[in-house]
Amino acid sequence: MAEAYIVEAVRTAGGRRNGKLAGWHPADMAGEVLNALVDRTGIDPAAIDDVILGCVTQAGEQGFALARNAVLASRLPVSVPAVTIDRQCGSSQQAIQFAAQAVMSGTQDVVIAAGGESMSRVPMFSNTSFHAKEGVGVGPFSPRIQQRFGVKSFSQFDGAEMIAAKYGFDRETLDRFALESHRRAAAATQAGAFEREIVPLDVDGVPHVIDEGIRADATLAGIGSVKLLQEGGVISAANASQICDGASGALIVSERALKAHGLTPIARIVNMTVTAGDPVIMLEEPIPATQRALERAGMTIGDIDLYEVNEAFAPIPLAWAKALGADPDRLNVNGGAIALGHPLGASGTKLMATLIHALKARGLRYGLQTMCEGGGIANVTIVEAL
């Protein structure tokens, strides 16, 4: 079977809400990632067959084809096409899988998978809330959907609480996991673990290269003092992912392109899986998705050297690890979205950049990436570092 290779994977350092990257237009931010992929690989930009870019809140500055606008804001020629996709938080992970499928099918040879999200400039849910405020339409969930599932809406916050209750996680367990995320991210930053994957962005004449959300001085008491999102619950803003601005991307090519352009791959894509399940609990789907991916790949969880499981909320990676019997020392080894931020549509290729570079830094072979997604969907991608 034809193979798909990742030649480079990069990301911006995260920016906090209304923080250092708030002055960057999302098209420009994503455009810098496209430039970096070309510069670091030496690929002829005219050879790029397509750009597939994930973005969740496609409104305002992220409306009107953000992927195409990212190309126009970059140094890529206008002959490079682009498409914007939305699989919620898994948007740019799906971009990786679409790009790999394109090169494996032989229809394309060089494809950039990317993601971009400015949560400062285009607030989460603003693509629906502005319509609701003006009384336009009834929202994304039709009466038929509401009747079928017995809910007026689908809430990721409710889903996180449901998973915590189902797997028996109390507030302290979640807060301890959050603290460890900050500790690991701070240690990785101090050790220079992220330097190779980060694309510097100019902020008032200074390169932005440090993830802004990391709290190196975080304490369990401080995390535990943060108000709960709902009375009687266990989820707080401190044990959930941080709102974040950022962009990321990966250059994915066929074996033919490796030879034609003299490229050196950093990873091979081993398996691509996507599954869907209960849209109410919503965020549990990475568990069956991972089970299916491992089965299809002929692997066990013990064969995987490192895992990146998006920390949308602390119960998600904790439940995933508990259900699969995964080694916690291999999980999000450089911290996760609780410390580093979750720039929605950019998180898929962001996590892939971190995963591949972490594997290579440790001389390890196999990595698995998954994340929960709105609607009860989950992507799983298994890669082999080269």
Residues with a catalytic annotation lie at: 89, 342, 372
Distance from C-alpha of 103 to C-alpha of 297, rounded to nearest angstrom: 19
- What is the spatial distance between Cα 205 and Cα 213, in angstroms, rounded to a whole number? 21
CB of 53 within 8 A of CB of 284?
Answer: no
Going 97 to 98 to 99 to 101, the CA torsion angle's sign is: positive
Residue 153: Cβ within 10 Å count: 11
For residue 91, the SS3 value is helix
Q: What are phi and psi of 78, to 5 degrees?
A: -65, -10
- Beta strand residue intervals within 277-354, DSSP E: 306-309
Q: Interhelix angle for 26-41 vs 66-73, to 10°? A: 60
Other beta carbons within 10 angstroms of residue 225's beta carbon come to: 11
Q: How many angstroms separate the CA atoms of 173 and 169, rounded?
A: 6
CB 156 within 8 A of CB 88: no
Instruction: Return d(Cα 94, Cα 378) in angstroms, integer.
Output: 10
Q: Report d(CA 285, CA 316) in Å as an integer.
A: 10
Using CA atoms of 335, 337, 340, 345 in order, give the dihedral in degrees to the nearest 10.
Answer: 140
Q: How many CB atoms lie within 10 A of CB 144?
A: 8
- Considering only CA atoms, give the Rg of the chain: 20
Cα 300 versus chain centre, distance = 23
